[in-house]
């Protein structure tokens, strides 16, 4: 918990503050018999809930122990927590919107605007403190060398990809993390990773706090208007419509900042390709690695917070091909910002298409349970080009389970004809005559 | 009605429409009712009706979320944006719905608490009863529609999937559970396969042919050549599990709504029957409504006055406990809903967290792998569930040399298959010459600086020091890099690196039917 105490401390502080204010509002609401106070205090309760979710998922994620129940640890908890917070907030916004519409249909005046004004101001103060707490440290932190404090996230709407403050802003969190990797100290990438994943967590909480702050602003504005221009017993005039209309505007503002968060967490949770990675480029580069005849089942996804994971199957001619290629493949991935790669080598046999897995599972029956069906290979590339997928491959032959050492060159493939390219090193002879490609 | 709705005939691409059809049907009904309720509330100027109508609107939103998830999840092809296809969308839809429902419960709770402090009378109970009953009927219909994916779920375990049973192909599967969605689904699957491919194997959701190659000589488990020999449970489990989560989310929403309607109707009935309202004329005293400032004054005044003169003409508003019935019932409803939503929330969250599916024991898998002959070490063993029954595993296997690896490769895949993990990526690593001590270490880690960016970086600690026989489950890639050039043994043999230029006609669409 050492180096993460900054974030957690802030959350705990905010939690304590919110609890205190909630209790105070509740008590004063009952004593003063003001429903407005009581209902406003329950807004704080929703804040509390989101804080608890944020804190607990942060805790869970941080104890990313790999164990028998979770081989990747629980680092994704923050993404899940952020999504939950965002959805929770959306639901609350929906309810608030509904109430505002009802109020528009039947406007009511605020009675006792003074009390509402006071409480609203207090609530606003608490929320502003919260917003500041989550932001301020970042501003002052980045100037230091960020030894012990992970940088705070910038305001909710701002981009989280850029390193705040002092670090060079030129590096967006592109696929090319690598220029930094080699130069910056070990803390650098860690901080970015920490920042990115924690940022999701904090963003969820921040959204709630911001929503609350906006609500307090609306309350203050409406109460001020009623205070300054008291209505007395007159029927409702334009003043009564201020509150609901402002509320609806507020709902839109909150929703517009909640959706980007939902989108970002979806990218992680739906196993999408992380933002900085260009699959086309990546597979192009991979296909060009010498020794790789083709590749398929390429999967790239983000675990959480900048940790990208890739798996792929490559087809090689020989095991030595594989070992050479493995290093270069990792290098390609490393440059793309993906550092956990698992490569499955398959050796070419003439029975199977270059683009299909030689060893999907032990039986065809499992096809539906593979992550990707074997009938049309996903993101498969052969060296130099991609094969267009026919709907029915003509060669429906049975594979007799030829040994993987069988490296006969496929001759009958339709691929063969259009693959003659600039072959520079083809004359580099080898010990194995089989490797003379028919394509030359 | 429900059965007829759900069980469509075999053949034709209707299996997925089944889920979609149900969702759309319910969506249309609910939206219609919402509109009706709004109109009625305007006509009768009943605020309670209007606010109740918005419960229907939340239902509509939940249905929309589920529909979107179903639409997405059908796209199982890998794309440039998502190499796994969108199969996880349904799990996410389930989570979103569960959280949404929790939030609604929370707001209902708040309202109920507010009602405790300030009880309301129900105006126009007859109207409320009428609309409440209509809403209840619609909700019951919805419950019926989504019943199979109800709270208990089917209870299909993933254990079915790898049993390797072979069922005779038949047009209709008698052993299917009655009703529908799943049966029609399988029928559709088989018929699709028959239409498009002469020798179909396995199941698919797309209309493309299965390449009938065999990777190894597992003849006994190979089901090639016999069209349609495939374990039915596979499909069932797959379609059921993640779709089931999604539908459960919808079911819970509808269930919550139904409970709400029940409460409304009950309350209105009791109110209508038992409540003694204040007549519009004549003095009336309502003891149930707290009005601090005026309460005592009014009370003493009215009672004092009444005592002297016409006592009987003072009407006292009906039994007060009726006013508290609504919040109490709401509280009970909230408790029920939360109790039934929590399992759904947990399940979908666990999938999204990349945890190991509960039926798989990673320890035993690890030990099985390690006890294989020829396997020196196993590390970076990861198992996770993509969605439904698609479980994915990766592992690094350390072997002394490539030929040993060839021999054990099949066994390794078998072991995974037996556990139900069919999509695996096995990375063989060969012990570098002379590094006997490096058994536990990853031969192919990324560079040192990347250690923290790896999925299993050594942020916690470097567990790589443990040997393969340790009890540690999986050994993370060590921070101490084994110098990669050492493992290159290719100096002696030069490999012709056939360089082929990238062809211009690369297909931009990385589509594949999955």
The interface predicted TM-score (ipTM) is: 0.72
Nearest partner of A379 among A291, A273, A236, judged by Cα: A273
* Average pLDDT, rounded, for chain B: 68
Residues in chain B, pLDDT under 70: 1-17, 46-48, 148-240, 277-278, 280-283, 285-286, 288-318, 432-514
* B321 touches A at CB < 8 Å: no
Encoded tokens for B304: 């004092």
Mutate to test the interface with B, among A90, A108, A324, A361 (most CBs of B within 10 A): A361
* B389 touches A at CB < 8 Å: yes
Mutate to test the interface with B, among A177, A345, A364, A423 (most CBs of B within 10 A): A364
Instruction: Find out whether A348 and B215 touch, Cβ atoms under 8 Å.
Output: no
- With beta carbons under 8 A apart, name residues in chain A contacting B455: 72, 303, 307, 309, 340
Return the percent helix, strand and coil in chain A, to nearest 5.
55, 10, 35
* CB under 8 A, 24+ apart: contacts of A126-133: A126/A17, A126/A18, A126/A21, A126/A44, A127/A209, A127/A210, A127/A212, A127/A213, A127/A216, A128/A213, A129/A17, A130/A14, A130/A17, A130/A18, A130/A209, A130/A213, A131/A155, A131/A206, A131/A209, A131/A210, A131/A213, A133/A10, A133/A13, A133/A14
Degrees to nearest 5, angle at CA A237 with A233 and A239? 100
The reported pLDDT for the residue numbered B336 is: 93
The Cα B369–Cα A432 span in angstroms is 33
The Cα A217–Cα B350 span in angstroms is 38
Q: Collapsing DSSP states into helix, strand and coil, what is residue B396?
A: strand
Q: Which of B118, B425, B444 sits opposite A35 (nearest CB)?
A: B118
Mutate to test the interface with A, among B458, B497, B504 (most CBs of A within 10 A): B497
Residues 6+ apart with CB under 8 A from B39: none
Cite the DSSP H helix spans in B173-290. 181-196, 232-274
Q: What are phi and psi of B173, to 5 degrees?
A: -100, 105
Portion 169-228 of B in contact with A at CB < 8 A: 196-199, 201-218, 221-225
Encoded tokens for B5: 């709705």
The reported pLDDT for the residue numbered B163 is: 41
The reported pLDDT for the residue numbered A255 is: 92
The Cα B348–Cα B357 span in angstroms is 11
pLDDT tens sequence across A160-180: 343 333 333 333 333 433 443
The reported pLDDT for the residue numbered B443 is: 58
Residue where the block lists tokens 């039986």: A363
Nearest partner of A92 among B104, B254, B65, B101, judged by Cα: B104
* B58 touches A at CB < 8 Å: yes
Task: Count CB-CB contacts under 10 A for residue A40.
Answer: 23
Q: What ranges make up the beta strands (E) of B303-434?
A: 315-316, 377-387, 390-399, 423-430
- With beta carbons under 8 A apart, name residues in chain A contacting B406: 403-405
- With beta carbons under 8 A apart, name residues in chain A contacting B477: 340
Encoded tokens for A281: 């480029």
Encoded tokens for B241: 């599990």
- With beta carbons under 8 A apart, name residues in chain B contacting A383: 498, 500
Residue A351 clears pLDDT 60, i.e. is over it? yes
- With beta carbons under 8 A apart, name residues in chain B contacting A320: 489-490, 493, 495
pLDDT tens sequence across A376-422: 554 555 554 444 333 333 333 333 333 333 333 333 333 333 333 33
The CA-to-CA distance between both ends of chain B, in Å, stands at 34
pLDDT tens sequence across B352-384: 999 998 889 889 998 988 888 888 888 889 999
Mutate to test the interface with A, among B90, B103, B165 (most CBs of A within 10 A): B103
* A134 touches B at CB < 8 Å: no
* B118 touches A at CB < 8 Å: yes
CB contact under 8 A, B447 and A400: no
The reported pLDDT for the residue numbered A40 is: 72
* Average pLDDT, rounded, for chain A: 70
CB contact under 8 A, A376 and B50: no
Q: Provide the b/e sequence for B282-294 (b: ≥16 CB within 10 Å).
A: eebbbebeeeeee
Residue A389 class from Cβ within 10 Å (0-12 exposed, 13-18 middle, 19+ buried)? buried
Residue A317 clears pLDDT 50, i.e. is over it? yes
Residue where the block lists tokens 């109707």: B265
The Cα A398–Cα B211 span in angstroms is 9
User: How do strand A292-304 and strand A307-316 relate by DSSP bridges?
Assistant: antiparallel
pLDDT band with cut points at 50, 70 and 90 for residue A85: very high
Considering only A142-151, A241-250, A359-368, which range has the smallest mean pLDDT? A142-151
pLDDT band with cut points at 50, 70 and 90 for residue A159: very low
Beta pairing partners, B393: B383, B424
Residue where the block lists tokens 């069209």: B227
Encoded tokens for B118: 């300030």
The Cα A343–Cα B394 span in angstroms is 9
DSSP for B445-470, please give it.
---GGGGGGSTT-TTS--GGGS-TTS
The reported pLDDT for the residue numbered B193 is: 36
pLDDT tens sequence across B15-32: 445 888 888 989 998 999
């Amino acid at each position: 918990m050492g180096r993460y105490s900054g974030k957690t401390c802030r959350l705990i502080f905010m939690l304590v503050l919110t609890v205190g204010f909630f209790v105070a509002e509740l008590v004063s609401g009952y004593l003063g018999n003001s429903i407005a106070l009581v209902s406003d205090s329950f807004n704080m309760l929703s804040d509390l809930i989101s804080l608890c979710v944020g804190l607990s998922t942060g805790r869970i994620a941080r104890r990313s122990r790999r164990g028998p129940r979770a081989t990747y640890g629980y680092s994704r908890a923050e993404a899940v927590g952020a999504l939950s917070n965002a959805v929770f907030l959306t639901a609350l916004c929906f309810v608030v919107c509904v109430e505002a519409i009802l109020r528009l249909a039947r406007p009511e005046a605020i009675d006792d605007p003074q009390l509402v004004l006071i409480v609203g101001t207090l609530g606003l103060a608490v929320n502003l403190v919260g917003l500041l707490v989550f932001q301020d440290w970042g501003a002052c932190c980045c100037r230091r060398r960020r030894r012990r404090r992970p940088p705070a996230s910038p305001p909710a709407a701002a981009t989280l990809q850029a390193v705040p403050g002092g670090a060079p802003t030129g590096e967006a969190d592109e696929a090319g993390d690598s220029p930094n990797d080699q130069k910056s100290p070990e803390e650098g990438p860690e901080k970015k990773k920490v920042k990115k994943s924690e940022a999701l967590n904090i963003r969820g909480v921040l959204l709630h706090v911001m929503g609350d702050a906006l609500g307090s602003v609306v309350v203050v504005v409406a109460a001020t208007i009623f205070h300054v221009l008291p209505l007395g017993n007159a029927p409702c005039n334009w003043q009564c419509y201020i509150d609901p209309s402002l509320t609806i505007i507020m709902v839109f503002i909150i929703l517009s900042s909640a959706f980007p968060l939902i989108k970002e967490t979806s990218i992680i949770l739906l196993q999408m390709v992380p933002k900085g990675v260009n699959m086309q480029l990546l597979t192009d580069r991979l296909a060009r690695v010498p020794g790789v005849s083709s590749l398929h089942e390429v999967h790239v996804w983000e675990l959480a917070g900048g940790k990208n994971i890739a798996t792929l199957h490559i087809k090689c001619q020989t095991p030595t091909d594989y070992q050479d290629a493995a290093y270069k493949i990792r290098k390609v991935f490393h440059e793309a910002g993906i550092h956990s790669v698992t490569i499955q080598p398959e050796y070419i046999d003439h029975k199977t298409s270059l683009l299909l897995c030689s060893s999907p599972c032990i039986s065809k029956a499992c096809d539906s349970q593979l992550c990707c069906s074997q009938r049309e290979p996903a993101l498969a590339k052969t060296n130099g080009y991609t094969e267009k997928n026919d709907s029915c491959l003509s060669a429906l032959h049975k594979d007799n389970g030829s040994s993987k050492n069988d490296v006969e060159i496929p001759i009958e493939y339709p691929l063969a004809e259009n693959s003659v390219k600039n072959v520079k090193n083809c004359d580099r002879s080898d010990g194995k005559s089989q490797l003379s490609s028919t394509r030359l | 009605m429900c059965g007829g709705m759900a069980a469509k005939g075999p053949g034709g691409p209707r299996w997925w429409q089944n889920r979609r059809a149900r969702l759309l049907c319910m969506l249309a009904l609910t939206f219609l009712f919402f509109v009706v309720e709004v109109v009625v509330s305007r006509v009768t100027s009943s605020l309670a009706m209007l606010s109740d109508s918005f419960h229907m609107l939340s239902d509509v939103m939940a249905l929309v979320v589920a529909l979107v998830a179903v639409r997405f999840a059908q796209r199982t092809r890998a794309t440039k944006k998502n190499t796994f296809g969108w199969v996880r969308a349904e799990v996410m839809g389930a989570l979103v719905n569960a959280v949404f429902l929790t939030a609604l419960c929370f707001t209902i709770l708040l309202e109920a608490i507010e009602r405790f402090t300030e009880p309301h009378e129900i105006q126009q109970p007859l109207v409320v009863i009428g609309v409440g009953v209509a809403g209840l009927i619609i909700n019951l219909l919805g419950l019926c529609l989504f019943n199979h994916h109800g709270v208990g779920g089917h209870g299909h375990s993933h254990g079915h999937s790898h049993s390797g049973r072979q069922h005779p192909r038949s047009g209709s599967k008698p052993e299917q559970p009655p009703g529908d969605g799943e049966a029609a689904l399988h029928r559709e699957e088989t018929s699709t396969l028959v239409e498009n491919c002469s020798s179909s194997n396995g199941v698919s959701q797309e209309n493309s042919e299965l390449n009938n190659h065999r990777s190894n000589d597992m003849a006994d488990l190979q089901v090639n050549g016999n069209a349609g020999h495939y374990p039915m449970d596979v499909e069932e489990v797959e379609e059921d599990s993640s779709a089931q989560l999604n539908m459960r989310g919808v079911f819970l929403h509808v269930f919550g709504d139904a409970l709400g309607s029940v409460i409304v109707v009950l309350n209105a009935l009791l109110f209508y029957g038992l409540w003694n309202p204040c007549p519009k004329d004549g003095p009336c005293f309502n003891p149930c409504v707290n009005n601090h400032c005026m309460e005592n004054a009014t009370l003493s005044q009215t009672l004092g006055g009444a005592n002297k003169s016409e006592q009987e003409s003072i009407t006292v508003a009906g039994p007060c406990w009726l006013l508290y019935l609504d919040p109490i019932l709401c509280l009970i409803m909230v408790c029920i809903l939360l109790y039934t939503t929590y399992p759904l929330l947990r399940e979908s969250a666990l999938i999204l967290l990349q945890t190991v599916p509960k039926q798989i024991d990673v320890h035993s898998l690890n030990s099985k792998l390690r006890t294989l002959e020829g396997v020196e070490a196993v590390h970076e063993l990861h198992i996770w569930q993509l969605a439904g029954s698609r479980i994915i595993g990766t592992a690094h296997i350390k072997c002394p040399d490539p030929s040993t690896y060839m021999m054990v490769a099949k066994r390794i895949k078998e072991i995974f298959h037996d556990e139900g993990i069919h999509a695996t990526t096995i990375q063989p690593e060969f012990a570098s010459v002379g590094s006997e001590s490096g058994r536990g270490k990853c031969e192919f880690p990324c560079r040192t600086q990347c250690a923290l960016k790896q999925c299993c970086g050594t942020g916690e600690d470097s567990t790589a020091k443990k040997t393969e026989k340790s009890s540690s489950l999986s050994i993370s890639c060590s921070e101490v890099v084994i110098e990669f050039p050492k493992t290159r043994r290719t100096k002696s043999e030069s490999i012709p690196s056939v360089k082929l230029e990238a062809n211009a006609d690369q297909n931009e669409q990385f589509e594949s039917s999955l």
